Amino acid sequence: MESILERLERLERKRRLKTEGKRRYRKRIRDWYRNYKSHLVCAICGDMTTSIEFHHNDSSTKTADVSNMIGCESWSKIKHEISLCTPVCRGCHEDIHNGELDWATST
């Protein structure tokens, strides 16, 4: 029969392995996201920079900002949210939200 100390050590080992697994999973998602974004171009101006952002085509379907989902949500949820968006550079994204660029005529 295991002692209380042995049981606590076993539970701590199990918790540590679970935490390490989650950390590796989140890192894989972050790496995938960085790689995915590195191959995108702005749908409006064609710029290919590291500052590509995701503009939600219909804000009523928006669950969350894609960048805020990284490390918190599953791949499937992140990919679904990306499918609701169009990649745009930071400048064009600001212009859309400032009303300087008519998104409906740009797509």
pTM of the model as a whole: 0.74
DSSP per-residue codes, 32-88: HHHHHHHT---TTT----TTEEEEESSGGG--S-HHHHTTTS-HHHHHHHHHTEEEE
Q: Could you report how far apart the first and last alpha carbons of the chain are, in Å?
A: 68
41-45, 48-52, 62-66, 70-74: least confident range = 48-52
Is the pLDDT assigned to residue 89 strictly greater than 80? yes
Long-range Cβ contacts of 3-11 (<8 Å, 24+ apart): none
